[in-house]
Chain A
Amino acid sequence: MVSPILELTNINKSFGHVQANKNINLKINKGTIHGIIGENGAGKSTLMSIVFGLYQANSGSIKINGKEINLRSPRDSIINGIGMVHQHFMLVENFTVLENIILGFEGETVFGEKLQKAKEDLEKLCQTYNFNIDLDATISDLSVGFRQRVEILKSLYRGAEILILDEPTGVLTPQEVDELFKILRSLKDEGKTIVLITHKLIEIMDLTSEVSVMRQGEMVGHTKTEDTSKEQLAEMMVGRSVLLRVDKKKIKKGEIIFKVNNLSVKDDLDVTRVKDVNLEICSGEILGIAGVTGNGQTELLEALSGIRKVESGSIKLFGEKISDQNNFLNPRMLKEKGLAHVPEDRQRMGLISDFKAHENLIFGYHDQEPYSKSAILNNKEITEYSNKVMQEYDVRPNSPNLITSNFSGGNQQKIILSRELNENPKVLLVGQPTRGVDIGAIEFIHQRLIDMRDKGAAILLASVELDEILSLSDRIIVMFDGKIVGEKENKNVTDRELGLLMAGVA
């Protein structure tokens, strides 16, 4: 029998207390597209980072073509024919495509012959796989889909036989996804091996010939794709049949809290990301925003929470104008009005990872009594409060003096939620509340949000997880390309309907 091109045996890896990979065994055959599926935080990315030499496993062995190898850095992996396309692209923005691809492999001090040769080789590669890339274009001018192609091309140019793609479609539009899949299929036909990491079942069913399922750091199953179904895979991923609708009381809708009129918002690069949006949120309801990442949800939330200036239009809170193109209330003033905000990206915004947990628990409320009095922080109060909420929200470990980066993602998220929900806000803006959070915590977080709603808070929930939107929202709007392309009461809405809207086709 031919030995598999990549074979992992008993791989273990832990970060601190968290075991990200437990006794992983995996065989990947040459010339296949092999899917690795699992929820956020199941350990997929960790496993592939080990294969790519970014992390070293605590134990276990890696064989390529039956030969055991030792991968100490990405360079070792590249030499062994492994290429990886990360979720976040590793490209130099102001370099051209060509410059990015040869980076680190220039081969000569003064560019000349070899650069020319590289260019010719790359053009050939582009033709073989139908890449359709201008090698002299600057990366910053390229769309996300093209940048991803550059990453793939880079790996191929460096001689990759095994190509690992980490959640490649998260940032793509549906058309771009189709293009990507075409390229991946033609790569497979040329005999390359592709490992596709994803948490989207539909991609697995579409593209792969074999699939491995991970759950909480363990490999829970391998199967041929044709022998399985979406339902079966979902059950394997979650470990039980999936109950996604949360039980909630009948809606008691109150007055209009948030009113947004003809809102347009630009991002830091001066690109208009929110286009002429109108919406209303009432007390006692959860309004869900569905959409593929990067369709303006981030900017909308930032504008509503007073972080980002609006370009035109206005935002009213409790009937009072808080933001238009001339001025806006800053987040602190909005907090005083009873607005809380759980930001989408906890590392970038929601927390200061070098701070201790108790410092993050008062973040944004640090100048309010009882946490501080005439500018002096009241340590006793802060510690008491921290102990209390950390217990209430079951943050583990329950140690307010631990540096925040030492908590797991789910527990970091709980720190933010406990901080933002503790003050019983009247309005709550929530972005991706369960990103990278384990299942137990997800149910807990969902229940908290429902509780807030039942208490009469107006909640705006932005999430890329359709299931989350469907199970929590009373009303759903879909954003595509900065515009609201659909609004529906959450009654008998199917994910298919929403999916079409999200893709901008319906």
Chain B
Amino acid sequence: MSNIVVDKSKVPWWVSNVIVPLVNLTLALLVSGLFVFIAGENPIEAVKLIIYGSFGYIQGFAYTLYYTTNFIFTGLAFAVAFHCRLFNIGGEGQAYIGGLGVFLVAINLSFLPVPIVWLLAIFGAFLFGAAWAYIPAYLQSKRGSHVVITTIMFNFIASSLMIFLLVDVIRDTNQMAPHTVKLPEEIWLPSFEAFSGILGIKIRYSPLNLTFLLAIASLFFVWFLVWKTKWGYEMRAVGHNTQAAIYAGISPHKNIIIAMCISGGLAGLLGVNEILGVSHKIQAGFPAGYGFTGIAVALMGRNHPIGILPAAFLFGILYQGGSEVTFEMPNITRYMFVAVQGLIILFSGALENLFRPQIESFFVRRLNREVNA
């Protein structure tokens, strides 16, 4: 057991919120470098490839931002629930069902004016994601079934349900693969290359699209909701101290449900990016683990939108740069980057407090010395 006792009130905010995450991240990357080395490749070269792959050329950068979009949604989803002390592990399933919402709205209402279709589809994504989170939330608040357990189960249920729908109900009957027909082209969200085309710059295809702006807007939305409204205030009150919330006349039941629904809704927005923006159809398994990685993004970002943005960006870099590395370095497989992600989660999540006391007491001592000198 560590004997270092740090007076929390003396720790400057930037030490706990910037220095500590950076140290943890560096450690994760160092260990990852060791793996790369063991695999027989040069870690420095790998880092160069990651940086080139994610920043080096405009298409690569667009891919980075596309991944970032998804991570912002799922990271925010986890963070909102966490402020009410709910561990929503179900982002994956909520995103999956959210995709169904986008698709159903878009395909059935495609006759409406395009911007209205978009708005309704976004609403559909949010609503479906929220509805999928509502059931575990209800079970938690009324029956006490732990949300961690139920949301994990609901990921499996979502997956099975979607496979059933994709195979038997909404499959594109002209072919065997489990995916739907494509949405009509008029209602696709404008892509990045379409924008740059207007500006006269010609670039190759990338999946980046208008949803990126929706993600940025969501960051503001969550910040405003959690810190500037009475709803966020009540959610945080319930999360920190349920007893006190009851004393103040704040209903824990209601707030658990609100927090989970907003969380599920945000995860559902991933469907906007994937379906309205990129593939224009529902494919089996499209959330592809973004829901889970969102947990790491939120933890790294300390559940604050200002932290989630860089954390999502970092994971975007790893995804995009990582695929560049696997392309150039045959010894490094895709799974290696899953391991790198795992290490980041390990160091910034599970081992978050490994070095925190030492780092914090180091800075407190230093700063005190400066004050006394």
A residues neighboring B (CB under 8 Å):
15-16, 56, 72-73, 305-307, 330-335, 341, 343, 348-355, 359, 363-364, 366-367, 372, 375-377, 379, 402-403, 406
Pick 30 A–B contacts, CB within 8 A, sort by A: A16-B7, A16-B9, A16-B10, A73-B1, A73-B3, A306-B249, A307-B247, A330-B251, A331-B246, A331-B247, A331-B248, A332-B248, A332-B249, A332-B250, A335-B249, A341-B247, A348-B241, A349-B244, A350-B244, A351-B244, A352-B240, A353-B240, A363-B237, A364-B247, A364-B249, A366-B230, A366-B233, A366-B234, A372-B229, A377-B233
Contact A355 B246 (CB under 8 A): no
* Cβ–Cβ contact B231 & A375, under 8 A: yes
Q: Are A376's CB and B228's CB within 8 A?
A: yes
A72–B241 Cα distance when bound, in Å, is: 31
What chain A residues lie within 8 Å of B248 (beta carbons)? 331-332, 363-364, 366
Q: Please report the C-alpha to C-alpha distance between residue A16 and residue B6 in the assembled complex, in whole angstroms.
A: 10
CA of A16 to CA of B5, assembled, Å:
12
Interface of B is mostly: helix
Taking a contact as CB atoms under 8 Å apart, the answer to whether A349 and B243 are in contact is yes
Residues of A contacting B280 in the complex (Cβ-Cβ under 8 angstroms): none
Indicate if the CB atoms of A375 and B7 lie closer than 8 Å.
no
The residues of A that contact B302 with a CB separation of less than 8 Å are none
Are B247 and A375 within 8 A (Cβ)? no
In Å, the complex CA distance between A333 and B249 comes to 8
If A73-B1, A332-B249, A333-B249 touch, does A375 touch B244 (CB 8 Å cutoff)?
no
B236 at the interface (CB under 8 A from A): yes
A355 and B240 form a contact (CB under 8 A): yes
Complex CA gap A40/B29 in Å reads 51
* A-B CB pair tally, cutoff 8 Å: 80
Digitize B329-359: 1 where CB-to-A-CB distance is under 8 Å, 0 elsewhere. 0000000000000000000000000000000
Residues of A within 8 A of B230 (CB): 366-367, 372, 375-377
Q: Indicate whether A377 sits within 8 Å of B249 (C-beta atoms), given known contacts A16-B9, A73-B1, A354-B240.
A: no
Question: Cβ of B249 and Cβ of A331 under 8 Å apart?
Answer: yes
Chain B residue nearest to A349 in the complex (CB) = B247
Residues of B within 8 A of A352 (CB): 236-237, 240-241, 244
- Smallest Cβ distance from A474 to chain B, in angstroms? 27
Smallest beta-carbon distance B245→chain A, Å: 8
Chain B residue contacts of A350, Cβ below 8 A:
244, 247
Chain A residues with Cβ below 8 Å from B240 are: 352-355
| CB proximity of A15 to chain B, nearest CB, Å | 8
| Distance A331 CA – B240 CA, assembled complex (angstroms) | 19
A71 to B5, CA, bound (A): 15
Q: A402–B13 Cα gap in the complex (Å)?
A: 12
For the complex of A and B, list the 7 residue pairs with the smallest distance between their C-beta atoms, beginning with the closest.
A332-B249, A364-B248, A331-B249, A406-B9, A349-B247, A352-B240, A372-B230
Chain B nearest CB from A403 CB (Å) reads 7
A419 nearest in chain B by CB position: B248
- B258 CB, nearest partner CB in chain A, Å: 12
Please state if B229 and A363 are interface contacts (CB–CB under 8 Å). Answer: no
Distance between Cα atoms of A335 and B247 in the complex (Å): 11
Given contacts A16-B10, A307-B247, A406-B9, 17 further A-B contacts (CB under 8 A): A15-B7, A72-B3, A330-B249, A331-B247, A331-B248, A343-B247, A353-B240, A359-B233, A363-B244, A366-B230, A366-B233, A375-B229, A376-B228, A376-B229, A377-B228, A377-B229, A377-B230
